[in-house]
Chains A and B, each alone.
Chain A
């Protein structure tokens, strides 16, 4: 048997020439009032935007459709401000994260935070009721991290959401937020400190770190 590999190293962006943004031209045309381009562009980003919104608010959240729609409207409006400093998809994802986080915070400002957290856990458990083990634990971890996003300062929360909920690399987060990589590191460090504090405060959360049943 081949015993390679856990070998390798980091994937460095500079090892390949940067690819042109496949949506870049469409975005420019759409921003200049080309209706056809706008339609093609919005249809291209629609599914990733829905996916990003779901990652932030939860797949079973009753508000997903409204928030996704709100995100698309925000994207259309924000297109004129797009300067090409990151890919169109990253730009759209950042708008999705901001819109979805704002929607969660609006909702939480109307409701008791503890009740909302419990409700979210129930939604997650309903979704995975048929598959207890791994998915139930995954649901708890997601709910915990979403709750943390609600409490962090917006910039930290946005960085943390792009990194954890959307799975962006450090460089991608830096590109999407127009911030240096070291600033991203710093924001993530602060977010993780808050997370660590939360885990230390609640002993039941430490079980999320252990082996799953």
Chain B
């Protein structure tokens, strides 16, 4: 079939996922998605699922709790010499887990009833002390002391891993719990925060960048660089963050460092052309003319057919 894409759409989707689409790539992908409803939907759904995969500290607590349960049962699940893929013990374990959950439910009901009964007895005693005439109170329930609200589970009051600004779709209740964490459980704030995986942070940062929330994107790229140094996502984010900083007219020195670090690691990387251009522009903003000249020359040397070549030559003329 003759259609406007000569690079495989899946490769273009990969580049978009990595934040590495060229203008030409984007035109191709847009043209393809205009007639391919499946790719159009998948393209949008990529972001939908990325947002849903963002990890919250509640998730950490739940996951660790599940892991502990499995670890507690592992010895009985896989005794030495038993084939690893035996399904029966696994089913038995899950069933045990469900029974355990039911047991907890029953225990909770019993506790509730016991608490209510205790409260009622206590009320009766107080009533009898206050009213020596022996007659049953009209309504025990009405005089019962209210039960204390059950203590929140640690997972419910723990702070959020990625911060409320990272996932705007998060329920407000979660933010309230995070706010309470500092006052109700000071130890929770001291607990080590497990970083979200690099791919999730990268996807969230790219999503923020695409929707124009550059402040959020800068924050997330920064987090990615601190927590996942050396990963492919972190390396790529150096160029993307550098570009954002320059686009916003902010901190050319930091942008310069980012572009330089990218080129140090990936002198022939696929974003090298943009990194060279970014270095030249950052040096121009910083007024370092001699180094700027070298940067433009490097751009022309490494990428003589760059779409930025004409701009580089013009600027070099101005600098002479």
A residues sitting closer than 8 Å to B (CB atoms) are: 1-2, 4-12, 15-16, 19, 33, 38-39, 42-43, 46-52, 54-55, 59, 65-66, 68-70, 72-74, 76-81, 127-128, 130-131, 135, 138-139, 141-142, 144-145, 163-167, 169-170, 185, 188, 192-193, 195-196, 199-200, 206, 208-209
Contacts and interface: CB of A to CB of B under 8 A. Distances in A.
A8 B53 contact: no
B93 A55 contact: no
A131 B168 CA distance: 10
Nearest to A70: B94
A144 B41 contact: yes
B150 to A, nearest CB: 19
Interface in B237-281: 239, 243, 246-247, 249, 265-266, 268-271, 273-274, 277-278, 281
A206 B271 CA distance: 35
Contacts of B266: 15-16
Interface of B: 8, 10-11, 14-15, 17-18, 20-23, 26, 36-42, 44-53, 55, 59-60, 62-64, 66-67, 69-71, 73-74, 77-78, 80, 84-86, 90, 93-94, 97-98, 169, 171-172, 194, 197, 199-200, 203, 230-232, 235-236, 239, 243, 246-247, 249, 265-266, 268-271, 273-274, 277-278, 281, 307-308
A142 B74 CA distance: 34
Given A42-B67, A188-B10, A199-B41, A11 B274 contact: no
Interface of A is mostly: helix
18 contacts: A6-B21, A7-B271, A11-B232, A11-B236, A65-B62, A69-B97, A70-B94, A73-B93, A76-B74, A77-B90, A78-B85, A141-B41, A141-B45, A167-B17, A169-B17, A185-B10, A195-B38, A195-B41
A77 B78 contact: yes
A8 to B, nearest CB: 4
Given A6-B23, A47-B64, A51-B53, 12 more contacts: A2-B278, A5-B243, A8-B271, A8-B273, A9-B270, A49-B63, A52-B53, A65-B62, A76-B70, A81-B85, A141-B44, A170-B14
Contacts of B247: 1-2
Contacts of A167: 17, 46, 49-50, 53, 199, 203
B77 A73 contact: yes
A38 B85 contact: no
Nearest to B281: A2
Given A50-B63, A195-B38, A2 B11 contact: no
B70 A51 contact: no
Contact of B38 (A11, A77, A166, A192): A192
Could you say which of A48, A54, A74 has the most chain B C-beta atoms within 10 Å of its C-beta? A48
Interface of B is mostly: helix
Contact of B10 (A131, A170, A208): A170
A183 to B, nearest CB: 12
Contacts of A196: 36-38
A50 B59 contact: yes
Nearest to B74: A76
A206 B35 CA distance: 12
Could you say which of B11, B67, B169 has the most chain A C-beta atoms within 10 Å of its C-beta? B67
A11 B240 CA distance: 13
Nearest to B243: A5
A70 B37 CA distance: 35
Contacts of A4: 243, 246, 274, 277-278, 281, 308
B70 A9 contact: no
Could you say which of A2, A12, A138, A139 has the most chain B C-beta atoms within 10 Å of its C-beta? A2
Contacts of A163: 42
